[in-house]
Amino acid sequence: MIDSSNNNRKGGRNTRLAHAGHSPREYHGFVNPPVVHASTVLFPDTETMLGRTQKYLYATHGTPTTDALADVLSELEGAAGTILVPSGLAAISVPLLAFCKAGDHALIVDSCYDPTRQFCDFMLTRLGVDVEYFDPVIGAGIAELLKPNTSVVLTESPGSNTFEIMDIPAICKAAHKTDAVVMIDNTWATPLLFKPLDFGVDISIHALTKYPSGHADLVLGSVSANERTWKQLHDTQSALGTCAAPDDCYLVFRGLKTMNVRLQHHEKSALKIAHWLKSRPEVVRVLHPALPDCPGHELWKRDFTGSSGLFAFVLDGISREEARPFLDALELIGLGYSWGGFESLVTLPDLSDRTIALAPQEGAVIRLQIGLEDIEDIIVDLERGFAALAKNN
Ligand SMILES: *Cc1c(COP(=O)(O)O)cnc(C)c1O
């Protein structure tokens, strides 16, 4: 008999995704947790009310629905606790606010998600934090940038749009000598392909909007913390009131059940298309962590257990402006931001804000999210793009 109680949810990836986070016996035997729409929680008497001795106090502090999702994520990340926030971007801003104060120095990877840079430049600097960007391939060299007042090192591996894999253990080792908190935006890998806390990271960030949701129908974020950082993160979330909505939490809880199965399909298709692109004369490089061309490929082999469906390629001698007909010719692959859903998407990223991890010199970068469609159809669409490039350039 399968024991689906919370204290027996070990097992492989798919088993844990299927059973973690909810004990059916705690909710009348229903296999899924309830979607609790709430603000007020009632107390039976003043002793409970004033002593705050009840499990749930008010909806901003959590509900059975948010707990179910947070518990799965904590288990997958091996974390002391997880907060849920309204978007992936809030999953970056909330921990930065939790661990930076006026007078601090923050080290941010230069290949970060673009809105992360905007938050740092627009908000953190305004709050009196000295923001400095660093090279994604810096590794142990980060020791030279760490100052006594460095409170945070924010990493993202692979980097947004250019996909550099970072030497996370080396960065953690150096940063912890000066007590800085190391954070990672782990969205690309999901908690399945890389487990940052096992490599020394303190805080792991996810845009649940992407693979955990998997269906392009919501935005949500999570932040998982180790013992050292959990209280400060949790107290900041309580102070800010950045809580997540029940329906979105439920949809992500549901999405997680199939995430590994979906990821395997994304991985297989993306790898096939990456290899196909490598053989195209118009393409000078394919930026996919599982391919040797990608900076940090050896680190990916050492630390990750697989790859997801998002990567990029560099056109040979074609500028960003000249690359536009490629995108405009696509009929199946959508022109749109975000990724991790069922559908293939393309973007033409602007890398002009980079100060260290500069845009590839050879030509424009095109980013692809390979969805769950049949691979032959995706390739036919990409061929349309290349035909339009040839016609227009
Ligand atoms: C999309 C994304 C985010 C932000 O997620 P939203 O839910 O869209 O705010 C953060 N980090 C990375 C790497 C992303 O790709």
Place of tokens 């938050």: 119
pLDDT at 243 over 90: yes
Model confidence, pTM: 0.96
Residues 157 and 24 in one domain: yes
Atom of ligand 1 nearest to the CA of 209: 7
Asked whether residue 243 falls in the same domain as residue 335, the answer is no
Residue 338 Cα to ligand 1 middle (Å): 7
Domain check: are 92 and 198 in the same one? Answer: yes
279 and 372 co-located in one domain = yes
- CB of 119 sitting under 6 A from ligand 1: no
Ligand 1 centre distance from Cα of residue 93 (Å) = 11
Average pLDDT, the chain: 95
354 occurs within a structural domain: yes
User: How much is the average pLDDT of 90-118?
Assistant: 98
pLDDT digits (tens, 9 = 90+) for 262-272: 999 999 999 99
Residue 8 lies in a domain: no
254-259 long-range contacts (CB < 8 A, ≥24 apart) are 254/32, 255/211, 255/212, 255/213, 255/214, 255/215, 256/17, 256/21, 256/69, 256/72, 256/212, 257/17, 257/18, 258/17, 258/214, 259/17, 259/190, 259/192, 259/211, 259/212, 259/214
- pLDDT for 1 equals 32
What atom of ligand 1 comes closest to residue 188's alpha carbon? 13
Task: Indicate which CATH number applies to the domain containing 313.
Answer: 3.90.1150.10
- For residues 360-383, give the mean pLDDT: 97
Residues 91 and 224 in one domain: yes
What spacing in Å lies between the alpha carbon of 156 and ligand 1's midpoint? 11
Report whether residue 211 contacts ligand 1, using a CB cutoff of 6 Å. Answer: no
CATH number of the domain residue 177 falls in: 3.40.640.10
Name the closest-CA residue to atom 7, ligand 1.
88
Closest CA to 215 of 269, 252, 263, 265: 252
pLDDT at 15 over 80: yes
Assess if residue 113 is contained within a domain. yes
Residue 1, domain member (yes or no): no
Among residues 221, 256, 291, which one ends one of the domains? Answer: 256
* 324 plus 237 within the same structural domain: no
Q: What is the pLDDT of residue 2?
A: 36
**Distance from C-alpha of 103 to C-alpha of 106, rounded to nearest angstrom:** 10
* Greatest alpha-carbon span in the chain: 77
- The domain in which residue 365 lies consists of 259-392
pLDDT tens, position by position, 178-222: 999 999 999 999 999 999 999 999 999 999 999 999 999 999 999
**Count of domains in the chain?**
2
Asked if 123 and 272 sit in the same domain, the reply is no
Give tens-digit pLDDT for 283-333: 999 999 999 989 999 999 999 999 999 999 999 999 999 999 999 999 999
Evaluate whether residue 65 is within a structural domain.
yes
Q: Measure 89 CA to ligand 1 centroid, in angstroms.
A: 6
Cα 165 to ligand 1 centroid, rounded to whole Å: 18
Q: What is the pLDDT of residues 115-174, one digit of tens each?
A: 999 999 999 999 999 999 999 999 999 999 999 999 999 999 999 999 999 999 999 999
Residue pair 211/191 in contact (Cβ under 8 Å)? The answer is no
Q: What is the pLDDT of residue 3?
A: 38
